[in-house]
Every structure is written in C-alpha cells, then in structure tokens.
Amino acid sequence: MGIVHRQVGKDGNFAWDDVEEEAYRGGGASEGSCRSILIGPKEGAQHFAIRYFEIPPRGQSSFEDHHHDHGVVVLRGRARVLLGWEVHEVGRGDAVYIPPNEQHQFETIGDEPFGFLCVIPSKEWLERIQALQGKNG
Amino acid sequence: MGIVHRQVGKDGNFAWDDVEEEAYRGGGASEGSCRSILIGPKEGAQHFAIRYFEIPPRGQSSFEDHHHDHGVVVLRGRARVLLGWEVHEVGRGDAVYIPPNEQHQFETIGDEPFGFLCVIPSKEWLERIQALQGKNG
C-alpha cells in the first residue's frame, strides 16, 4: 500500500510525520547536521532512497567519494558545492548530479540552514547486481 | 563531472537551465501537464531518474499501474492522490511512496498548479537485473 509522509515542519523548517530525524555525523559532517529518510527500506522501497539532509549555517557535509551516484534537489538555503575539482554555488530548486566516484562536499552559505533532497540507488540492489554479474563472469 | 541545473523559474514557477520541459500526455494526463527530467540518462545517471511533473488546475496525471515504484516529493500546490483504493490529500513538502503495481493518479486541487518531483529506478537497470536473474535461473 502507498505511504504518505506529511510535511509538518513550522517556520520554514522541514519535518515529516512518521519519519525520524537522525544526527548525521559521518566523514566530517558538521555538528547539528541531520538526515531524514523519506523513502527507503522502511517504506518498502527496494531500488532507491530519498533522504533529506540539513546542514547548519557555517556547516559542511561530509567529504565523500564512493561508488554510487547522487541526485540532489535543494529545498532551502544556499551552499557551495565541491564537485570533483570544481566549486559551484547552489540554492533553492537547483538540481545537482554527482556521478559515481566523484569527490563532493556541501558547505552552507549565509544564516539559513542548507536543506536538500538526496537520491541514491539502494545499496542492496547495487550489491545484488554486482553479485549476479560476478556469477556470469 | 558533476552537473548543476539551476532553477530559473519566476513567480513561483519551476524551470531549469539546460533541462527541456516536455508535454506530458500519456495515459489520460490533462492537457497542459508537463515533465522535466532533472537527472536522467542525459546527465549520465544509470540507476535512477528524478523528474519534475506539473499538472494544471483541475487537471490530473495519467492513471498508472506498472512494475516500477515511485518516490514523490511535492514542490507546489495541492492534489488528491489515488493510491490503490485509498485517496489522500497532499501538499507542499509531503512525500509519497507508490510501490510497484499499485494503481495511482494525482488530481490538482485549487487554482495553483500541482508540481512534484518523482523518482524512478532506471528502466535499463531494471531490465539488466531481470536479464541477469534469468541467466541464473
């Protein structure tokens, strides 16, 4: 059965019914950063996940470089984003594609938190296809 | 290399640099509905796509029922959504998960267009994993 998570945040903040906001601290992310998994394994999604991240003013996301790709859409605030060796400035509504194995990091600009949706392929599915490919040599 | 599509819409409308807005008419979608593929094959995304759909006032999306799942986040307006045999009302910021093979349709409520991000697993990837599974019996 389909699932609806209602946005219940006040005053420009984002929060969703029946979605837990987790601290997000891996890889050098700034204190106060958080992550909410809107669509993922809990919802039964097998192929992808949609997460909402928020980085506080003067904060930054973890510096990452990994096999899976990211699709990002900004919901609030502004940030510098490092994509490989390039730096771009992004704001509300902008879409960013981060290909596999490209180093990336976001750093909030200004006094508003930087909030964005981030889509990833599911880890289980990536592992499954790798295992199947391995069997087929 | 990473890609940034800047949001360039005015007056509450959404439009992106270097993203084509296409008419969206399949399966009974109302005239004036449109689709913009923010992240997809053109960006090199192999595993998923992020599309933006907009349905005009009094309009509806196509009535669909298919194998792939959808993750939806509403960016503007309000709509009724049919999920299986249930009807929900959704608005800005709400997240909706539509599992595989569940019939679904959106119908705009009110005078503002209903705009939403919709994530799908890539067709090519689904076919590839099905083919690999077939080989392994």
> What would the pLDDT profile of B72-101 be if each residue is shown by its tens digit?
999 999 999 999 999 999 999 999 999 999
Report CB contact under 8 Å: B95, A39: yes
Which pLDDT belongs to residue B60?
Answer: 94
Which pLDDT belongs to residue A125?
Answer: 83
Contact present, B117 and B51 (Cβ < 8 Å) = yes
Which pLDDT belongs to residue A28?
Answer: 83
Angstrom distance (rounded) from CA B23 to CA B27 = 13
Distances (CA, A) of B25 to B11, B48, B62, B80, B118: 25, 22, 8, 19, 16
Angstrom distance (rounded) from CA A90 to CA A51 = 18
Which residue carries 């923010």 as its tokens? B38
Least confident of A121-125, B79-83, B104-108, B113-117: A121-125
Nearest CA in chain B to A69: B45
Angstrom distance (rounded) from CA A67 to CA A134 = 17
Angstrom distance (rounded) from CA A95 to CA B85 = 33
pLDDT band, very low/low/confident/very high, at B64 (cuts 50, 70, 90): confident
Cβ neighbourhood burial of A74 (10 Å; 0-12, 13-18, 19+)? buried
Instruction: Calculate the average pLDDT of chain B.
Output: 93
Q: What is the DSSP letter of A108?
A: E
Residue ranges in chain A whose pLDDT is less than 70: 135-137
Report CB contact under 8 Å: B81, A38: no
pTM here is 0.94
Work out the average pLDDT over B13-32. 92
Which pLDDT belongs to residue A136?
Answer: 58
Which pLDDT belongs to residue B129?
Answer: 79
Which pLDDT belongs to residue A135?
Answer: 66
Which pLDDT belongs to residue B107?
Answer: 97
Work out the average pLDDT over B101-126. 95
Nearest CA in chain A to B50: A71
Report CB contact under 8 Å: B83, A38: no
Nearest neighbour of A117 by CB, restricted to B19, B45, B73: B73
